[in-house]
Chain A
Amino acid sequence: MDINWANVFDWTVLLKCFVTAGVICVLGQILIDKTKLTPAKILVIFVTTGAILGGLGVYQYLVDFAGAGATVPLTGFGYNLAKGAIEAVQQMGLVGAFVGGVKAAAGGIAAAVFFGYLAALISKPKMKKQ
């Protein structure tokens, strides 16, 4: 069977995804290099920014544009929390604001715990190179 690999992927979608996620990572790198913010604070800033932009509906445009390029970085986690909370409020009222966010992010959270645990079992931390 002949597969024309050039047509298997939609390259423009991949490019948009790659560039968007890359720009988000570059913002994080600039914050590490140019400010005194610790990595933990940068993480919180990214998630919170994603949640706020998600809540305002702005982040949705970025998700429509870049797909996983916008949902996989930390800001996407915040967006997911906000989106889940809004949807749950529409279904079950105010209590949804408390349960909806984590419910929507449950897959990601459980996967992080599970794969983190697996990695801890099979690997050992090492000295970094630099």
Chain B
Amino acid sequence: MKKVGNQTISFDNPPTILECASIVGPKEAKGPLAKYFDQTLDDEFWGEKTWEKAESKIIKETVSTVISKSGVPSNKIDCMFAGDLLNQCISSSFGLRELNIPFFGVFGACSTFVESISLGAICTESFAENVLCATSSHFCSAEKQFRFPLELGNQRPPSSQWTVTGSGAAILTKSGTGPYITHITPGKIVDMGIKDGNNMGAAMAPAFADTLISHFEDTGRNPSYYDAIISGDLGYIGKEIVIDILKSKGYNIKSNYNDCGVLIFDKNAQDTHSGGSGCACCGTVFSGYFFKQLKERKIKKMLLIATGALMNSTTSQQGESIPGIAHAISIEI
């Protein structure tokens, strides 16, 4: 493992993404990617009394699914990284408390999935044989956490995105046959002064551009090197902004770039305004869709860049701007 360029990590022995699993909620189950997920739920409560309990159950069941799919017994998993959007990451810690696996709680807002995988991949270069990485989000609990409780019946403005209900989990292993994580480009915090909590795509787009350009400069690669460059949850507005920013810096990503928040819902049939968001957006779309594409060799080289908005409801109410972050992993077979 070594550092290349300013901020990219390159692996001598690239870890393999052994297996992935995903469970999604009822709205995602009606979206275009529904058939790729391991399980789709009919009810956002999933038989639980609260949305927080439902979210914990979703991450717990997703992790159980990935463990059983991988065939790796849980006592052979050396540690796990997980996080979510709720205060003090309770979905992860409550959902995974019975697992008996050393646990690192991670907060990177919606970039958590890639942040967890990055940290897990680094562990496989040292002490760990197998590492579990997971994340979750839930539309109803996230609305309460970041905006208003649903009981208030507020309208969502047109620029707002829809938090994906679901969970994505992956198991990384030191010795495998791919898909390999070859590079990590951890993102810097970028704050361009956007204050609108209902327009997260615009707030996170500059961070995405910063990480992507750093990745190209550090590795000497260009956009055409990748079959797919995928962002986590910039949505329709963020996607357009990013294509423009990259164009102005001399990179054309229009042909192979897309966003998980754009892919997960049907724009016309499901009115989500500006697309999907949340930790589970990138988590489920990668675990459900892209991982299978890599396994079937339909995509051979992809750059997954999860984006996060690092604010909370207090900072929004106090009129602070929204710092954005974007972490990138290069996955190749």
| Interface positions of A (Cβ within 8 A of B) | 32-33, 36, 38-40, 120, 125-128, 130
Contacts and interface: CB of A to CB of B under 8 A. Distances in A.
A32 B140 CA distance: 21
A38 B148 CA distance: 10
Contacts of B272: 130
Contact of A33 (B149, B151, B157, B195): B157
Given A36-B196, A40-B148, A127 B44 contact: yes
19 contacts: A32-B155, A33-B157, A36-B157, A36-B195, A36-B198, A39-B154, A120-B151, A125-B140, A125-B151, A126-B44, A126-B150, A127-B26, A127-B165, A128-B150, A128-B156, A130-B156, A130-B271, A130-B272, A130-B273
Contacts of A40: 148
Contacts of B26: 127
Interface in B7-48: 25-27, 44
A25 B270 CA distance: 25
* Interface majority SS (helix, strand, loop, mixed), chain B: loop
* Interface majority SS (helix, strand, loop, mixed), chain A: loop
B158 interface: yes
Contacts of B226: none
B289 interface: no
Given A39-B152, A39-B155, 11 more contacts: A32-B155, A32-B157, A38-B148, A39-B148, A39-B154, A120-B151, A125-B149, A127-B25, A128-B150, A130-B270, A130-B273
B150 A33 contact: no
B139 interface: yes
Contacts of B150: 125-128
B37 to A, nearest CB: 17
Contacts of B155: 32, 39
Nearest to A36: B196
Contacts of A39: 148, 152, 154-155
Interface in B247-279: 270-273
A125 B154 CA distance: 13
Interface string B111-145: 00000000000000000000000000001100000
B270 to A, nearest CB: 8
A66 B297 CA distance: 68
A44 B67 CA distance: 51
